[in-house]
Structure 1
Amino acid sequence: MRINSFLFCFLISALGWSQANVIFKDRNYFEAQNEAREKNKPLVVMFYANWCEHCKKMKSSVLQDTDVVLFYAQNYITVAIDAESDAGSALKQKFKNDCKVRSYPTFAYFSSKEVYWGGFSGEMKKESFIEEGTKLLQPENQLPQLKAAFEANVNNPEACLKYIASIRKAGFDATTITQRYLKTVPKENLFTELNWRIIANGINTVEAPEFQWIIDYQKEFGQAASPQRVEKKIIYTVQDNLRSAADALDTLNYRKKRVFVEKIQLRKTDSLLYKYDTQLYASIQDWKRYQQVTLEKTDTFAAKDANQLIENASVYLNYIQQPDALRKAITWVDKAIALSENAEKHLVKAKLYLKLKDRTQALQAAETAKKWSEQMGWSSSESDTIIKEIKAAKL
């Protein structure tokens, strides 16, 4: 009996290590899907990117862990695919109505008949990865069942929250689901911890009327959850909405969202407006709006940010011509120098003065940069070049 037990443990261990080179390996998706049908086992697809450090880390550790290998080899057919390859792009397109692959790694779970059960994105620890796979083997945790439970009882907050969570994990917006539930809730019953969680997870656009509820009833929601959680939700939603539009250079959508954010009138959201206004207007080279925003708001929102001050001043140096605006940029450089001095900042100041045709001040700033570099034991060649340029300039 002892021998049999020993052999059993040995075989299990050997299976684990042998399977370590099998699960979540690159293979043809359709071959894996056929295998899932034949064996009547669910299928998990790992979408990864070759440049993704989180993918590399999971592949080299979690996906080679014996417990993970044994669990997934026993319960699922697995396949990995480079999401940025032709085959990966085609597969993302195939499942675009089931899940959105927006970050890596993304794990998508399907039944043997290719019905999407759920999934998630991001690096996971061993225990959590097994836990997610275990949960999705239970029908009550699968997206079709969650949807059916919600549709059967729209005013059930627990069913709504579970459905929202699954939809969000799949990469979709849950606003309409949340709104359907909230229409069933009288205002006097709105301010509960569970309803706050539904709103916090389900409302993620600044245009949604329910987001305005959060603004209007910060105190009430703060009592149900906490003031810190409510403020964090407001800040995160504003940041996420503005950043996505600014990064995409989607000026139409950005300006639409900007109207709603401007109405909030919180210092932190106003600061985010300043940040993304300057980012967007610089990216699209709308220097008129960039100048307007920076002149009006830099002293309020960037007075203690040396990098932003110098970035603004450098933009003015390259793209702004008005003398008064250039003098304002010099005051930003002075503030940046007061926060953290270096030769580069003095050189920006020298160039701004040179653009203003003020030889005396330009030379003084350049010589200060040279002196500062020499004191630090660094090369002063750039300062020397600018000093020569200033002296040779015909002003």
Structure 2
Amino acid sequence: MTFSISAQDQQSKARTGTLTTDHGPIHTPIFMPVGTAGTVKAVHQRELETDVQAEIILGNTYHLYLRPGLDVLSQAGGLHKFNGWSHPILTDSGGYQVYSLSNTRKIKEEGVTFKSHIDGSTHRFTPEGVMDIQRTIGADIIMAFDECTPYPCEYGYARQSMEMTHRWLDRCIGRFDATEGYYGYQQTLFPIVQGSTYPDLRRQSAEFIASKEREGNAIGGLAVGEPAEEMYKTIELVNEILPVDKPRYLMGVGTPANILEAIALGVDMFDCVMPTRNARHGILFTTEGIMNLKNEKWSRDFSPIDAGLGGYASTFYTKAYLRHLFKAEEILAAQIASLHNLTFYLWLVRQARVHIDAGDYVTWKNEMVERLMRRL
């Protein structure tokens, strides 16, 4: 994997670049649709490619390990061949899912023992095992195994968790560097900065991760309930330490405003379930603000969902028709809304790249943040 920076904004840390993998290039800043179980919910791969114009999608180690399972993925030739996506894929390590299973898991130095949410069966994830699982899945970018602490989190626990995450990282690196991928293309490993919202811990973690000199780095443990300003302060602190010439991935973030503000702080890669999850509940992000399509006010609005966006779903279907589909509980409602929201998110980062290149990113960002968070 290689990463090159093509433009740097003069009023912020925003930059454009290209991250190149064996499955193709990724233009940054980029938003990565989440395909937890090998599929981005309610959206065909062809739509992801042609309408959304996604350049990379995510899979999740925890979910893919449980089903379809490693035997199926191995026999298929990896996740790319299994789901038909020919572009880059990133896999989360499963650390966040383990964090969310707080009532059914035990964390020890060796690893994490947890019960499946599907059938209650018991499993263990270790740093070495998670590397092997992600090798089998076959993602282009794989994540180190870490513990994601909750918010709020006591200082002592945050420190102990961070130190264990660092020890786990050394084990991940050892296993990753001692093995090779199974499918004839290169994979790369991203470490993850932790430390809750404590500046000294985040600084220590960022320095430790930077010292490993991997091809990219991630910032984890945010968007778990902390105020947005705390998140931005943490990102700013961490990005002062992480290498400028490596891509920076902010995990699990977030709203359109979060993404634009984090780009200004030097983040290159984002993922979040928000666009598809909100879509399934009738909440749409548009170029003019946020719409709740279940509201009565849209029942006789025969204008396109978002004429300013472009894209098939956003310009072909009307607000009134989509509201009708939601009220009638038609599956097509979730499909149209998900396709629209993802189209919007990828449009947003493309526009960010345009304005970084043009040198007016901060002015544009400030205007867009105010507009995009309006309730229509």
TM-score by length of 1: 0.29
Larger radius of gyration: 1
Instruction: Using CA pairs under 8 Å that are at least 6 residues apart, name the structure with larger relative contact order, 1 or 2.
Output: 2
TM-score by length of 2: 0.30
Structure 1 or 2: larger helix share?
A: 1
Structure 1 or 2: larger strand share?
A: 2
